[in-house]
Amino acid sequence: MPIPPQYPPVAARRLSNGLQVLVLEKKFVPTVSFALVFKAGNVDNTPGKTGLAHLFEHMAFKGTTSLNSAGYAAEKPALDRVEAAGQALIAEESSANPDPAAVEQLRAALDEAEAAADAFIVEDEYWKLYSTLGESGLNAMTSADYTAYVVSLPAPRLEAWMVIEADRFKNPVLREFYRERSVVMEERRMGESEPGRVLWEALLAKAFTAHPYRNPTIGWMEDIRRLSRTDAEEFYRTYYVPNNATLAVVGDVEPERVFALAEKHFSGWQARPLPSRERPVEPPQAGERRAEVIFKAQPSLRLGFHNPGPDHPDFYALMMACEVLSSGKTGRFYANLVEGRQLALYASAYTSFPGSRYPSLCVISAAPKAPHTTEQLDAALMEEIERLQAEPPAAWEMEKILNNYDAEMVKQLESNSGMAMSLAQNEQLLGDWRYDWQTGERLRAVTPAQVSAAAAKYFSRDNRTAVFLKEPAV
């Protein structure tokens, strides 16, 4: 079916094992960007195993049965001994009354088993291989909704990417799991000293009582310390299947050749049935929730309002409401609170946080300008919201937002890597790679009256969670 002219000429094909492949041919420079997105995010962790999706992302760089190994047949028994030691340590540490002497003995046994397994590791072979191929931007990221793996290469390396990544996701070996778990635990500890991260976590934990959006992507410390390699392998078997992934390839390539190579190299990756995507439904909020975070840092605040999710017809009016409030220097927050009354250092509004697979939060993020307080800024923010609820935005405000959105769509086309990520993410999470362009069309259908009505419906006190970061009292 031909692509309508308002959309980029993306070629799409679903492979025999369910892997969705999208290709956008761009001949401007001889490079190609890849984005492989799995619907395997923080919301997919089972209760008590928060952080597992993120930890598996780390492990996906540890090699395969043929990469990073001096000989997997001999290495596997050593890895099994590591896992047995790790499981025993977890069991003792998780018992009602852990014996400190036993814990130390088991920890020493784990260290000994890991040292023995080290003899089989070829350090950084995966990274060195990509460096030899001329990679740029080799990375991965885990969010509430997904995990993505990205890289850009010279265009002649197209098949090399297919060979490496097909092997990576068909034959992963989770080497050095417990060491990497310790790295993540240290990252968790460091995050607890970052006021911004603590503030965001406090907002989500307060705003959500049932839905897993309340959990931090890195996980809660008590959960992380109990994760095992067996848990990560089970997560892999459940979610790292081709029928749960979208591959986007953007750059100097021919679509038919991409499809042929993908079928050749990825077809041996077996599809499996996926678990239910139903998650606990967040009950309607029946009153304002408030919290304070005491930290020696610049005071700031976060306001969260539950949104109905991107499938709801009100969602696009809410997008416009957030843009009216915070789009650039003519947005109401900046014009009136930053520049006008000089109450705020910054003030921004986001339509969907921390994800978009399920109803989430519209969030306002702001910091007061001294000597003003968070309470004074909060009151001023709500005044702007109440004005929007009562007075629909002017025609020029709406047109500015639409023009900016169109400009962003054009700008997005300039980046192969950004375009690949956008295509794969929209297809895998929202069901259509065209989503960003369709959003522009839907925003144009929103009226000023609908913007005010959405602000009145969702930006209410009863639907609000407010978290304030304050300095400790002197």
Could you give all domains of the chain from N- to C-terminal order, each with its CATH number?
A: 12-266 (3.30.830.10), 289-392+447-470 (3.30.830.10)
* Whether pLDDT at 256 is above 70: yes
Q: What is the pTM of this model?
A: 0.95
- What's the pLDDT score for residue 65? 97
Per-residue b or e along 382-408, where b marks 16 or more CB atoms closer than 10 Å to that residue's CB: bebbeebbeebbeeebbebbbeebeee
pLDDT grade for 323, boundaries at 50, 70 and 90: very high
Instruction: Provide the strand spans (E) within 144-287.
Output: 147-154, 245-251
For residue 83, which of 150, 177, 210, 217 has the smallest C-alpha distance? 177
* Whether pLDDT at 241 is above 70: yes
Query: CA-CA-CA-CA torsion for 42, 45, 51, 52, nearest 10 degrees?
Result: -120
- What's the pLDDT score for residue 473? 80
- What's the pLDDT score for residue 4? 57
- What's the pLDDT score for residue 28? 87
Angle 104-107-113 from CA coordinates, rounded to 5°: 145
CA terminus-to-terminus distance, the chain? 68
Residues 454 and 321 sit within 8 Å (Cβ to Cβ) = yes
User: For all residues of the chain together, what is the average pLDDT?
Assistant: 96
pLDDT grade for 412, boundaries at 50, 70 and 90: confident
Gap between the Cα atoms of 285 and 291, Å rounded: 15
- Which tokens sit at 159? 């098949």
Residues 167 and 269 sit within 8 Å (Cβ to Cβ) = no
Kindly report the length of the chain.
Answer: 474
Question: In DSSP terms, which residues pair with 11 in a beta bridge?
Answer: 23
- What's the pLDDT score for residue 428? 97
- Which tokens sit at 194? 């970052």
Gap between the Cα atoms of 363 and 379, Å rounded: 16
- What's the pLDDT score for residue 410? 87
